[in-house]
Structure 1
Amino acid sequence: MALRGPLRLTAVALVLTALSRVAVAAELEKVATGKPQTEKPLGVVELFTSQGCSSCPPADEFFAELAAKENVVALAYHVNYWDYLGWQDTLSNKENTERQYDYMRAFGSRSVYTPQAVINGRSHVNGANRKEIDGALARMDRTGEGMRVGIKVSRTSDRVMIDAGDAGNGPTDAHVVIVYFDPPQMVKIGQGENSGRNMTYWNAVSDIQIAGMWNGKAQRYELPMTEIAKKGGCAVLLQSVGKDGVPGPILGAALIRKPDRL
């Protein structure tokens, strides 16, 4: 992922407090849902989809199941390159499309497609193929290509604390990526290949921001609760970066839901 355009440092929205080499001692509070956050989820599934793609509804329906799982961080990136088919995706934006093209370069592919599911930033499969997605998550978890850095989330009345753990062995540099998403919403598609369908979309990404760097040591980041309250929630990704700026493997992740009450 290149540090350019909309993927910008958010010095105003995010306050970084380095706690290098210092473990967080306080017991974490429960998140807004009342349930403790999973420190190391099974994995991250990033679905690239479009309301104008006739092959996407089965992937969107399976994605809704993934989004409901507590041990999976599921993010849906609606892209805009199918809009010419007669329906402009109401949830798409160019930043989502740019992220998919960044993955294309990272994987050495020649083109992009929908529905595409990227697993842990490491591989991609057809987003409608339940067996391949479940298999990739389980295989990477077994082989050490899953979430190996713990991320704990706690909150006060006005902020969220994000504590990234120590790397141990392996890659030690990554971007701290904050991916905001909308609450679930139903869309009636009026034209195009899916004309007449009523689809409910989960965790549709609305903004991607790079908060800073993680250098392999325990570190704390603070996020204003007001930022999450504007959205449906956000995901925190520790994602390594290739030498040419393309996104690499995701080393850790956590999901933060919008609180029911502020």
Structure 2
Amino acid sequence: MTFRFFSTLAAAALALPALIGVALAEETARPAGVVELFTSQGCSSCPPADALLAELAARDDIVALAYHVDYWDYLGWRDTLGSPENTARQHGYGKSFGIRSVYTPQAVINGRIHVNGSSRAKVWDAVEDLKGSGDGLAVGLTITRAGESVVIDAEAAKGEAKKAHLVVVYFEPTQPVTIERGENAGRTVTYWNAVSDIQTAGMWHGKAARFELPASEVSKKGGCAVLLQSVSKDGLPGPILGAAIIRNPGS
């Protein structure tokens, strides 16, 4: 999406009627990349990745999302932020990448490659490599408020026209969780941008387009990310072409 996404999108969020009203910030640069972390409160290897995700979520140039999966719940602790939908998204990526099994912590960068989510070097190198190779976020998005709507404007594709879904990923406010059982028993971990819902809001056909979301829905959550993502004929997630994020105050 366009601007230093976080700053402009955060400004858009602040303009929502249920939030503090302020003018939108000027558009700057689009994000460097999207980092989707698949994690679990029941995974002993995940806290370092959760800490790295928190660092990325605080940046202005990264769209960072944490998808808590549910397949480690059998170890004795039910992830309070986990869902089968998050697990299904990870398995979809696994099929897209042609890997035999998924794992935690797994970080998917721009919907194109996956790396160990606890490795700062691997995550950041992946973001930079994709950006340098032309597989970064090539389609700009801007977000503004118009009355009771959040308006998303997508640029036209540069070069050959493509198709993509407009995917809206809602996430919870930042929150600490004390884990009482399982591999991380006794630890309190603060989780950022934990995904609570994923919705497809429309289709983009390679031309400049406008989409609307109800401002009231956006204001209910900690915020949301908007992803312009290619999807296969089988419904599997593919490359992310553009992204932006809205944070609600205090999230």
TM-score for both structures, normalised by structure 2: 0.89
Q: 2:165 aligns with which of 147, 158, 175?
A: 175
- Amino acid corresponding to residue 32 of structure 1 in structure 2: A
Look up the match of 2:130. Answer: 140
- State the match for 2:3 in structure 1: none
1:213 to 200, 203, 211: 203
Q: Is the 8 A contact 1:179 1:208 kept in 2?
A: yes
User: CA offsets, 1:57-95, max 9 Å, x none?
Assistant: 000001100000111000000000000000000000010
Please say if residues 166 and 227 of structure 2, whose CA atoms lie closer than 8 Å, have aligned partners that are also in contact: yes
Query: What is aligned with 1:158?
Result: 148
Letter in structure 2 aligned against 1:55? S
Who is 2:83 aligned against?
Answer: 93
Which residue number corresponds to residue 196 of structure 1?
186
Q: Equivalent pairs: percent with the same residue?
A: 62
Question: CA separation of 1:199/1:259 partners in 2, compared to 1, >3 Å: closer, same or farther?
Answer: closer
Cross-structure match for 1:32: 13
SS in 1 for 2:12: coil
Aligned partner (choices 95, 114, 139) of residue 105 of structure 1: 95
- 1:41 counterpart = 2:31: yes
Shift of the alpha carbon at 1:29?
11
* Structure 2 counterpart SS, 1:88: coil
> Within 5 A, what are the aligned runs for 1:246-257?
246-257=236-247
Partner AA of 1:211 in structure 2:
A
Matching residue's letter, 1:93: S
Q: Is the 8 A contact 1:38 1:71 kept in 2?
A: no
Instruction: For residue 160 of structure 1, report the CA deviation from its aligned partner.
Output: 0.9
Residues 179-203 of structure 1, C-alpha deviations (whole Å, 9 max, x = no match): 0000100100000000000110000
RMSD (Å) for aligned C-alpha atoms: 1.7
The partner residue of 1:50 within 26, 33, 40 is: 40
Residue aligned with 1:31, SS = helix
SS at match of 1:101: helix
Residue 36 of structure 1 deviates from its aligned partner by 4.5
- Counterpart CA distance in 2 for 1:43 and 1:257 is 17
Distance of aligned partners of 1:116 and 1:171 in 2 relative to their CA distance in 1, 3 Å threshold: farther
Structure 2 gaps, min length 5:
1-8, 15-21
Alpha-carbon separation, structure 2, partners of 1:36 and 1:78: 34
Q: Of Structure 1 and Structure 2, which has the larger fraction of its residues in helix?
A: 2
Aligned-partner residue type, residue 190 of structure 1: E
Q: CA deviation at 1:31?
A: 1.9
**Preserved CA contact (<8 Å) 2:10 2:245:** no
In the alignment, residue 67 of structure 2 is paired with which amino acid? Answer: Y
Q: Which shifted more, 242-251 or 192-201?
A: 242-251
Q: Which runs of 4+ in 1 moved over 6 A?
A: none
Residue 241 of structure 1 pairs with residue 231 of structure 2: yes
CA distance in 1, matches of 2:218, 2:13: 11
CA-CA distance at 1:158 after TM superposition: 2.4
CA distance in 1, matches of 2:124, 2:199: 28
CA 1:179–1:70 in structure 2 vs 1: closer, same or farther (change >3 Å)?
same
Segments of structure 1 that go 5 or more residues without pairing to the other structure are 1-27
Aligned length in residues:
233
